[in-house]
């Protein structure tokens, strides 16, 4: 961050620098947040600090679907009402929240924690692909829905997974093209996501 933006008080300067590291937080936004926290009560500041520490200490990945959770398996994987023959593959945990809001999907999930992006140095080995393939060995899964984001990285990831999974005799589908190219799944509205799920197509 440009030193012109930093105050002379070292604790404030450090906080602004740390806030600026967050995605989407520019120098001025980091300053505003820091000064807001300075004016907040000590109780509010401690509550925020404790929430951040608890996030790092208590959140783990589900041993099955790789979603974030406090206990493993997660509540979705433990839910016996879910259709265990169906797995929807997403890039990030927040996309599960978007799909769950539709109330139209009753299967299980798998989180890759990213997408193939050679430009960013992210290859298949950096994703939770091995864990996904391990889940397909018991022949209980009949369909994989590839719900990667409709952009170049998502398309590359979809094609890679399709080449791996199709020879296993499992149906591979993808969300319908109701989602605009270049957008992220988490920002799509419930109606668009529901239609994309209902209109999924063979890959």
Q: Is 94 helix (H, G, I), strand (E, B) or coil?
A: helix
Burial bucket for residue 203 (CB in 10 Å: 0-12, 13-18, 19+) = middle
**Cα dihedral angle (189, 195, 196, 202), rounded to 10 degrees?**
170
pLDDT tens per residue across span 76-132: 999 999 999 999 999 999 999 999 998 889 999 999 999 999 999 999 999 999 999
CB 83 within 8 A of CB 108: yes
Check whether residue 107 and residue 14 sit in a common domain.
Answer: no
Check whether residue 83 and residue 172 sit in a common domain.
Answer: yes
How many CA atoms are closer than 13 Å to the CA of 15, on its beta-carbon side?
Answer: 17
Check whether residue 112 and residue 178 sit in a common domain.
Answer: yes
The pLDDT value given to residue 102:
87
Check whether residue 84 and residue 157 sit in a common domain.
Answer: yes
Check whether residue 54 and residue 72 sit in a common domain.
Answer: no
Give the H or E element holding residue 179. none
Peptide bond into 73 cis (omega under 30): yes
Check whether residue 119 and residue 96 sit in a common domain.
Answer: yes
Check whether residue 26 and residue 118 sit in a common domain.
Answer: no
Give the H or E element holding residue 78. helix 75-78
pTM of the model: 0.78
Query: Residue 60 has which token pair?
Result: 């783990």
CA 25 to chain centre: 19
Total domains in the fold of the chain:
2
pLDDT tens per residue across span 8-25: 689 999 999 999 999 999
Check whether residue 29 and residue 66 sit in a common domain.
Answer: no
Check whether residue 9 and residue 104 sit in a common domain.
Answer: no
What average pLDDT does this structure show over 1-12?
A: 70
Residue whose C-alpha is closest to residue 127's, from 153, 101, 152: 153
Check whether residue 53 and residue 83 sit in a common domain.
Answer: no
Per the structure, the complete domain to which residue 37 belongs is given by 3-58
**For residue 161, what is the domain's CATH number?**
3.40.1360.10
Check whether residue 53 and residue 65 sit in a common domain.
Answer: no
If one compares 67 and 102, the residue with the highest pLDDT of the two is 67
pLDDT tens per residue across span 170-191: 999 998 765 555 566 776 667 6
Check whether residue 168 and residue 85 sit in a common domain.
Answer: yes
What is the SS3 string spanning 119-178?
HHCECHHHCCHHHHHHHCCCCCCCEEEECCCCCHHHHHHHHHHHHHHHHHCCEEEECCCC
């Amino acid at each position: 961050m440009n030193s012109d933006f930093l105050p002379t008080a070292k604790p404030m300067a450090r906080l602004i620098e740390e806030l600026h590291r967050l995605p989407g937080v520019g120098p001025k936004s980091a300053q505003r947040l820091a000064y807001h926290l300075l004016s907040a009560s000590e109780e509010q500041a401690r509550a925020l600090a404790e929430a951040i520490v608890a996030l790092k200490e208590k959140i783990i990945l589900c041993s099955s679907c790789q979603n974030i959770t406090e206990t493993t398996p997660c509540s979705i994987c433990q839910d016996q009402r879910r259709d265990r023959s169906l797995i929807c593959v997403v890039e990030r945990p927040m996309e599960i929240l978007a799909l769950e809001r539709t109330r139209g999907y009753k299967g299980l999930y798998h989180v890759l924690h990213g997408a193939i992006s050679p430009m960013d140095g992210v290859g298949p080995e950096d994703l939770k692909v091995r864990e996904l393939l391990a889940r397909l060995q018991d022949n209980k899964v009949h369909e994989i829905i590839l719900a990667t984001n409709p952009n170049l990285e998502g398309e590359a990831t979809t094609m890679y997974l399709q080449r791996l999974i199709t020879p296993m005799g499992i149906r591979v589908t993808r969300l319908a093209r109701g989602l605009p190219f270049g957008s992220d799944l988490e920002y799509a509205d419930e109606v668009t996501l529901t239609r994309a799920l209902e209109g999924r197509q063979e890959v």
